[in-house]
């Protein structure tokens, strides 16, 4: 069944299939992005932000994560790491941000489990990307050859 909007009187039946993935390194594909605005917080003043829709997979499980890239000098390193990871920027080189051009690109990232307390007092969990790997880094083996 394809996606559609519901009317107020529609019947619903499909439960959520959301699953928190284990922490680890995952391949990813950029599915979409949205332009948004960050109203400011204790750590970061108001600024534009790109909400990246990133599909991560380990080959067996797949999940789509929202990842905020804040367009501010405090987070410039994460923006550079993102564009490096998808192969649009070379490390250390100036680059004009092109979020629309990143849609469909692939790379590798580190995913962790973020825990917080919900409004109902229950402990909640979700996945969060904490690092984007440069293409050369992502292709390195995670073991030392000859050290079995």
Task: Determine the pLDDT at residue 109.
Answer: 97
E-strand spans in the chain? Answer: 24-38, 47-57, 62-70, 106-117, 123-133
What pLDDT, on a 0 to 100 scale, did the predictor assign at position 43? 95
Phi, then psi, of 77 in degrees rounded to 5 = -60, -40
Average pLDDT, the chain: 89
φ/ψ bin of 146: left (φ > 0), alpha (ψ from -120 to 50), beta (otherwise):
left
For the entire predicted model, the pTM comes to: 0.80
**Phi/psi-derived region of residue 110, left when phi > 0, alpha when psi is between -120 and 50, beta in every other case:** beta
Residues 6+ apart with CB under 8 A from 78: 69, 70, 132
Q: What is the CA angle 73-79-81, rounded to 5?
A: 125
81 near 97, Cβ under 8 Å?
A: no
Per-residue pLDDT of the chain (148 residues; tens, 9 = 90+): 567 788 888 878 776 667 889 999 999 999 999 999 999 999 999 999 999 999 999 888 899 999 999 999 999 999 999 999 999 999 899 999 999 999 999 999 999 999 989 899 999 999 999 999 998 865 555 544 554 4
Helix (H, G, I), strand (E, B) or coil at 77: helix
Residue 125's Cβ-side half-sphere holds a number of Cα atoms within 13 Å equal to 9
């Amino acid at each position: 069944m394809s996606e559609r909007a519901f009317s107020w009187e529609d019947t619903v039946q499909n439960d959520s299939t959301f699953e928190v993935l284990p922490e680890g390194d995952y391949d990813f594909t950029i599915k979409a992005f949205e332009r948004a605005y960050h109203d400011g917080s204790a750590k970061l003043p108001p600024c534009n932000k790109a909400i990246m829709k990133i599909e991560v997979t380990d080959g067996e499980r797949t999940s789509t994560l929202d990842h905020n890239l804040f367009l501010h000098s405090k987070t410039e390193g994460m923006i550079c790491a993102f564009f490096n990871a998808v192969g649009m920027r070379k490390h250390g080189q100036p680059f004009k941000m092109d979020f629309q051009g990143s849609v469909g690109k692939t790379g590798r990232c580190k995913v962790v489990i973020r825990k917080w307390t919900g409004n109902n007092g229950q402990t909640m969990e979700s996945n969060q990307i904490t690092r984007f790997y440069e293409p050369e880094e992502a292709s390195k083996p995670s073991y030392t050859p000859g050290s079995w």
